[in-house]
Amino acid sequence: MKRHLSTAPLSVTRPQVRAYIDRLEPYLRQKLIPFWLERVVDPECGGFWTYVDRNGNRTAKTDKTLICQLRNIFTMSSIHRAGLDDGRALAAARQGVRFTIEHFWDREYGGWYWIADRSGKVTDDNKIMYGQSFGVYGMAEYMLATGDPVGREYAEKTFDTIHRCAADIRGGGYWEMFHRDWTLKEGGVFGGDRKTLDVHMHLMEAYTTLYEMSRLPAHRRKLIEIMRLLTSRMCHPEFGTGMAQFDEDFHPLPAILFRNVWGADRDTETGKRPLNNTNYGHNVEMCWLLMRAVDLLGEEPQPWLPVIRKMDDQALQWGVDWEYGGVYVEGPNDGPTTQTVKEFWQQAEVLVGFLDAALIFRQQKYWDAFTNVCDFVWNRMINHEVGEWYALLERDGTIKWDHLGHEWKCGYHTVRAIIQSLKRLRALADLVEPR
Amino acid sequence: MKRHLSTAPLSVTRPQVRAYIDRLEPYLRQKLIPFWLERVVDPECGGFWTYVDRNGNRTAKTDKTLICQLRNIFTMSSIHRAGLDDGRALAAARQGVRFTIEHFWDREYGGWYWIADRSGKVTDDNKIMYGQSFGVYGMAEYMLATGDPVGREYAEKTFDTIHRCAADIRGGGYWEMFHRDWTLKEGGVFGGDRKTLDVHMHLMEAYTTLYEMSRLPAHRRKLIEIMRLLTSRMCHPEFGTGMAQFDEDFHPLPAILFRNVWGADRDTETGKRPLNNTNYGHNVEMCWLLMRAVDLLGEEPQPWLPVIRKMDDQALQWGVDWEYGGVYVEGPNDGPTTQTVKEFWQQAEVLVGFLDAALIFRQQKYWDAFTNVCDFVWNRMINHEVGEWYALLERDGTIKWDHLGHEWKCGYHTVRAIIQSLKRLRALADLVEPR
């Protein structure tokens, strides 16, 4: 059956929706959030612990990555904002903000260093835009959660640094990989000559929360500019899906693996990805983040729906594993996947994205996709003893990477996904007919 | 004779070059600089006086425009840097910096207000990019002249504000006309929906001095980006000359008159300029500013010479009035001028630009163009009694606008032109054969 072509209207019942709420809410409150509250703060040095094994125990690796510090600031703040905090999330966020500003903010050149040792001594002083983006996102969320002006100060300092140092006012968009003093890195695998969908999507994510915090015209304008840039220059002209990498003028390039990105150690293929290749979870993530921006801006949604629809439908057609459950990694736009493993963050993002699609388009297929992935995560990915999700599974759910915390895995995707899914599930429950 | 096609090599003699040095240097030291030192500082309120009549007397109009404050900060600082100061230029610059920061810098939204009354009370709080550009240029020059860290602080604050608020990271370049809070102005004559060569050229000018001051990689990169943007997207694809106005994607538009620009009160034509239209003095100004940036960056000049050559030659062919002397305002790329009046700033800029061309291309025609315009200025435009130049003359040199100081006329063009011309004349004198 060509499920992705189905136009069958949403026919889920309120009890069916409530069943997911009743499963996920206790899980969030009693398992997932406590998982992180109990172990994410470094009790001796401050900041956030990065590495956690399959049983939830901290490992011997003690590096503190910028990504984990800032994402945890975001996550702890968001837990507090969502009213799910017993006080520990707020305290964790506060101490994390102090630690990160003290050790990771470069007072001379601006921006955030990339990696420090456990005590906070910097070991990698590069300026990576992927991280700077979370400086805006995490600090703005912290400000919104707490009213602490330090959050605003550093969200705005980061935004200003990004524009002073990384914005390409000739070609548009941003450069992404720099040395400490904001000299561009070399090209090729060092990333100094490419622009990526990944970074630009995260900037859209960040600017949305920044604007939510500040309501400044300048922030609003940059948010709309990046939304337009993403959808008009970084999506495939025919398929409408995200393309991964570009040259300075946004000509798409076969994607290569850079240093410093997740999955780099998993990739057994040498060389480049084909141009006809797209990442399902990333696309669906972009869709819900775009919709969130549209809502926050108070913009008319209609012009944005075609691009959102295309990406959601492509993921539904080729990305969802209707046999084993969950979503694959990536593949051609118009054919089956080339990577059947199941990444934790993709499952997380499509939960939110498919629920968003169900709410926007009111079609049953999006609900079916949501339940498919949610059941897969519940049955195969979550370590229910301790509460977090394994990082990577084989197609059939066999555990492949069993760590629960890693430099590219903290509570950001998982906690956000459950919080955001529950919001949408409640909205859906209110919409559908009781039976 | 098709002078513009001549390839006759430079054959000027050292005495001939020295004759111009011997005329201009005393004029600069004894007439032009003192003209401003004696009357530009407001002795009661501080800051810089804006309006001066044909005899050098201050008029009853006492508004202080941002442009005049910042340009005078630049001019006074440049006089000091050039070793032509008796101490008054430094003092004038310092008090100007204090006044302008105190009254014109917006501590809440960032950037500079547009107009104040004599005491410094703001009467127009719009944020106009043309002015912000001079914030970078003037404050950086002040820092270079004096070492006063306040200069660096405000040059960098302005640069950061420009990027936070005005950079278009989707379409490239910058938006130009804003309300106080950086909301874009309306379109049409309010300029909110256009990008102009004028502003982007002045940004290149400003970033050059900023980089000279800071030597920061981030500033260097923006400078190269704007040089590439100007030459690749804002110059005519066939004629290579500057085009005036563009939409958000740099599609050229028939130019319209905005509020807030010089010449707006002179323009008797309603409606738009044709697309096939270019401004001689502006092009030649862009050429020498571009060359200055190339030199400062230590870049290889060769790739930039074709675009410089095209603009200089087009001005030489159609812009220079070989009969009466001086340069006209503007006209089609490939035909005679449509405006035979002689604007002061265009004469000033082509002096420097034609000397630059003589040095770069070593051809006699550029020297002839320089002497043509220099003689015209000397004989017709300068009020030798007091030292400054009339604002606007008819083709034959009859005075049309006789004010010597105005919101769009201070010492910036004239003093800079003579200082920069003398630098090039001395270099030329060292190069040519004595006879």
Q: pLDDT tens, A72-96?
A: 999 999 999 999 999 999 999 999 9
Altogether, the residues listed in chain B come to a count of: 435
Q: Which residue has the tokens 């009781």?
A: A434
Banded model confidence at residue A180, pLDDT cuts 50, 70, 90: very high
Contacts of B183 in chain A (CB under 8 A): 217
Interface-testing mutation among A108, A162, A170, with chain B (most B C-beta atoms within 10 A): A170
Does the pTM of the predicted model rise above 0.80? yes
Contacts of B163 in chain A (CB under 8 A): 160, 163-164, 167, 169
Output the six-digit token pair for B181.
Answer: 């809070």
Determine the distance in angstroms separating the CA of A106 from the nearest CA of chain B, rounded to an integer.
Answer: 15
Q: What is the pLDDT of residue A321?
A: 98
Q: Does residue A314 register a pLDDT over 90?
A: yes
The C-alpha atoms of residue A294 and residue B117 are separated, in whole angstroms, by 42
**Count of helices and strands (H, E) across chain B:** 13, 13
Q: What is the pLDDT of residue A1?
A: 59
Q: pLDDT by residue (tens digit) across A278-310?
A: 999 999 999 999 999 999 999 999 999 999 999
Task: Tell me what ipTM this predicted complex has.
Answer: 0.94
- β-pairing, B342-343 with A245-246? unpaired
CB contact under 8 A, A181 and B225: no
CB contact under 8 A, B218 and A165: yes
- β-pairing, A122-124 with A127-128? unpaired
Q: What are phi and psi of B174, to 5 degrees?
A: -135, 145
CB contact under 8 A, A181 and B217: yes
The C-alpha atoms of residue A244 and residue A279 are separated, in whole angstroms, by 8
What is the arithmetic mean of pLDDT over B338-358?
97
Mean pLDDT of chain B: 95
A–B CB contacts, 8 A cutoff, strictly below: 84
Determine the distance in angstroms separating the CA of A164 from the nearest CA of chain B, rounded to an integer.
Answer: 6
Q: Which residues of B touch A (CB under 8 A)?
A: 159-160, 163-165, 167-175, 179, 181-184, 216-218, 221-222, 225-226, 228-229, 232
Determine the distance in angstroms separating the CA of B393 from the nearest CA of chain A, rounded to an integer.
Answer: 38
The C-alpha atoms of residue B356 and residue B352 are separated, in whole angstroms, by 6
- The residue of chain B with its CA nearest to that of A228 is B170
Banded model confidence at residue B1, pLDDT cuts 50, 70, 90: low
Contacts of A182 in chain B (CB under 8 A): 216-218, 221
- The residue of chain A with its CA nearest to that of B109 is A216
Contacts of B111 in chain A (CB under 8 A): none
Q: pLDDT by residue (tens digit) across B199-209?
A: 999 999 999 99
Q: Where are the alpha helices (DSSP H) in A126-216?
A: 129-146, 149-165, 197-214
Question: Degrees (nearest 5) of the Cα angle B307, B312, B313?
Answer: 100
Q: pLDDT by residue (tens digit) across B360-369?
A: 999 999 999 9
Q: pLDDT by residue (tens digit) across A388-420?
A: 999 999 999 999 999 999 988 999 999 999 999
Nearest to A169 among B173, B181, B216 (CB): B173
Q: pLDDT by residue (tens digit) across A419-434?
A: 999 999 999 999 997 7
The C-alpha atoms of residue A330 and residue A350 are separated, in whole angstroms, by 13
Q: What is the pLDDT of residue B223?
A: 98
Contacts of A184 in chain B (CB under 8 A): 217, 221
CB contact under 8 A, B217 and A160: no
The C-alpha atoms of residue B138 and residue A141 are separated, in whole angstroms, by 38
Q: Which residues of A touch B (CB under 8 A)?
A: 159-160, 163-165, 167-175, 179, 181-184, 216-218, 221-222, 225-226, 228-229, 232
Mean pLDDT of chain A: 95
Contacts of B157 in chain A (CB under 8 A): none
CB contact under 8 A, B160 and A165: no
Q: What is the pLDDT of residue A272?
A: 82
CB contact under 8 A, B172 and A170: yes
Output the six-digit token pair for A280.
Answer: 């399902």
> In chain B, what percentage of residues exceed pLDDT 90?
91
Q: What is the pLDDT of residue B265?
A: 52
Banded model confidence at residue B4, pLDDT cuts 50, 70, 90: confident
Q: pLDDT by residue (tens digit) across A19-58?
A: 999 999 999 999 999 999 999 999 999 999 989 999 999 9
CB contact under 8 A, A217 and B168: no
Best CA proximity match to A359, nearest among A435, A283, A280, A432: A432
Banded model confidence at residue A270, pLDDT cuts 50, 70, 90: low
Contacts of B228 in chain A (CB under 8 A): 170
- The residue of chain A with its CA nearest to that of B184 is A217
Q: What is the pLDDT of residue A267?
A: 54
Interface-testing mutation among A163, A201, A203, A233, with chain B (most B C-beta atoms within 10 A): A163
CB contact under 8 A, A169 and B167: yes
Q: pLDDT by residue (tens digit) across B237-276?
A: 999 999 999 999 999 999 998 876 554 555 545 578 899 9
